[in-house]
Amino acid sequence: MPAVTQTREAVEKLGQSTYKWGFETDIEMDMAPKGLNEDIIRLISSRKEEPEWMLEWRLAAYKTWQAMEEPKWAKVAFPPIDYQDAHYYAAPRKKPGPRSLDEVDPELLRTYEKLGIPLHEQALLAGVEVPEGERMPVAVDAVFDSVSVATTFRKTLEEAGVIFCPISEAVREHPDLVRKYLGTVVPAGDNFFSALNSAVFTDGSFVYVPKGVRCPMELSTYFRINAKNTGQFERTLIVVEEGGSVSYLEGCTAPMRDENQLHAAVVELVAMDDASIKYSTVQNWYPGDENGRGGIYNFVTKRGACRGARSKISWTQVETGSAITWKYPSCILQGEGSVGEFYSVAVTNNHQQADTGTKMIHLGRNTRSTIIAKTISAGRSDSTYRGLVRVQPKASGARNFTQCDSLLIGDQCGAHTVPYIESRNMHARIEHEATTSKISEDQLFYCRQRGLSEEDAVGLIVNGFCRDVLKELPMEFAVEAQKLLQISLEGSVG
């Protein structure tokens, strides 16, 4: 039997068992009742001890949301979501925002251990600051359902002048900064899910890098949905002042459940003159089982504003999880000579659906953008790259290069490329290349003749296919992402 047939059959067999992060942690939860209304929003706000302006902002967003409808243009299909049938607040029953590990539920720590998340050493989370050693230290903020439970390396960061803390804490302790930037890149009413997020967001990270500071370490946030029937609505805001730089990574997992769970995050980035932000995501939410039951609905709005001249925002994403992914990390290239980049690997298997891509909006002169999108589809999954490159009249000398490559495993999956190009300036240069290929029998046989198992051969070929993107990830995470790619296609052969 030809290997590709086997591959396909095996992919179809790929089930829950391969999702290794699917356990649930038994922790006492403080839960808001199901449903969404003004009282729930007030409850969230009071649990977070928020100032009045924040509550008002939320309530205004809620009104906006009520008047909106779910977007229908993406190439994804799902039954109607009952927004009243979810909990909008769930927190480990402990005082929120523990300062030391002793305050963190040991069950939670065990969860992190099982996850083997990019916390690397548990010592890190345990608050033992060991910057010495071969690997670059990584500061971590871990968000569990609605609450941030531990942020490491705070002291080192504070000394450098960098603020890295849960956003709920930032709202309380750095209200001027939060107020100045929150919602300026993604306004509450931007879209249905951003409005929902603005009304009910519970936690997420806040990063502020002052003028001239290069953040001394990678920052990382780890998101986990744990409680049943909860949505996760995190909000991340990163502001880098003139000449500063930061590299930030987020990782995500969730338990296996029969019901779908909603995740609707908003991420806003602001880069001033000569500032640079590198934002990397390794998304591994539970994708659902082989019949398409369960899994996370991942409806995310991510946008960066290159406000300053020569500023740079680079999005790198490895998307392997979620039942549905709806996500278009974008750059608004306003500053003269600013640079936007989007590097993406999206893997879908079984019944997963992904509609992802980017938007590069060229406003300023000599702005440049690069888009490299790699799509891998297996099983009966369906994946769409949707990208917009828009050059506004003032953006003389703007340049874009787009490369979209799709790799199909088996013949029941689909891959689509939908580029939108709108140029309103004659002196802009836009290039677009697209390819679709299959892993060939020749390639598999060649690898196997050299002694590789079919699974390793697929892993090697897939990683080769994604290389241009993976090399953009911070070293340590690149290794993790490679493993993840292999795991998400595990059982896709023999």
Partner 1 sequence: MSQFLEISGLCAQIDADGQKKQILRGVDLSIPPGEVHVIMGPNGSGKSTLSYVLAGREEYEVTAGTATFHGQDLLAMEPEERAAAGLFLAFQSPIELPGVNNANFLRTAVNAVRRARGQDELDAVAFLKMAREAAKALSMAPDMLKRNVNVGFSGGEKKRNEVLQMTLLQPTFAILDETDSGLDVDALRIVAEGVNRLRAPTFSALVITHHQKLLDYLVPDRIHVMARGRIILSGGPELARQIDQEGYTKFLAEVA
Q: Are strands 90-92 and 29-31 parallel, antiparallel or unpaired?
A: antiparallel
Q: How far is the CB of 451 from partner 1 (least distance, A)?
A: 4
Q: Are 290 and 14 in contact (CB under 8 A)?
A: yes
Q: How far is the CB of 445 from partner 1 (least distance, A)?
A: 5
The rounded distance, in Å, linking the Cα atoms of 329 and 282 is 13
Q: 3-class SS at 178?
A: helix
Nearest CA to 144 out of 206, 230, 217, 35 is that of: 230
Q: If binding is defined by CB under 8 A, does position 1 make contact with partner 1?
A: yes
Nearer to partner 1, 215 or 462 (CB): 462
Which residue is listed with tokens 């243009």? 73
Q: How far is the CB of 486 from partner 1 (least distance, A)?
A: 12
Nearer to partner 1, 310 or 448 (CB): 448
Nearer to partner 1, 121 or 455 (CB): 455
Among 3, 91, 109, 265, binds partner 1 (CB under 8 A): 3
Give the total of residues touching partner 1 (CB under 8 A). 26
Q: Are strands 147-151 and 138-144 parallel, antiparallel or unpaired?
A: antiparallel
The rounded distance, in Å, linking the Cα atoms of 120 and 139 is 10
Nearer to partner 1, 214 or 448 (CB): 448
Q: How far is the CB of 216 from partner 1 (least distance, A)?
A: 29
Number of H helices, E strands in the chain: 13, 23
The single-letter code of the amino acid at 463 is: N
Nearer to partner 1, 123 or 434 (CB): 434
Q: If binding is defined by CB under 8 A, does position 121 make contact with partner 1?
A: no
Q: How far is the CB of 343 from partner 1 (least distance, A)?
A: 14
Nearer to partner 1, 258 or 442 (CB): 442
Q: How far is the CB of 128 from partner 1 (least distance, A)?
A: 30
Residues 179-208 interacting with partner 1 (rule: CB under 8 A): none
Q: How far is the CB of 126 from partner 1 (least distance, A)?
A: 31
State which H helix or E strand residue 270 sits in.
strand 266-271
Nearer to partner 1, 231 or 459 (CB): 459
Cα first-last separation, the chain: 11
Q: 3-class SS at 87?
A: strand
Q: How far is the CB of 15 from partner 1 (least distance, A)?
A: 24
Nearer to partner 1, 93 or 471 (CB): 471
What tokens were used for 484?
């993840």
Contact track, partner 1, 431-470, x by CB under 8 A: ---------xxxx-xxxxxxxxxx-x---xx-xxxxxx--
Q: How far is the CB of 472 from partner 1 (least distance, A)?
A: 14
C-alpha Rg value of the chain to the nearest Å: 22
Query: HSE-up of 491 (CA within 13 Å, CB side)?
Result: 16
Cβ atoms < 10 Å from Cβ of 258: 9
The rounded distance, in Å, linking the Cα atoms of 26 and 5 is 41
Nearer to partner 1, 70 or 456 (CB): 456
The rounded distance, in Å, linking the Cα atoms of 282 and 316 is 9
- Positions in the binding site for partner 1 (CB under 8 A): 1-3, 440-443, 445-454, 456, 460-461, 463-468
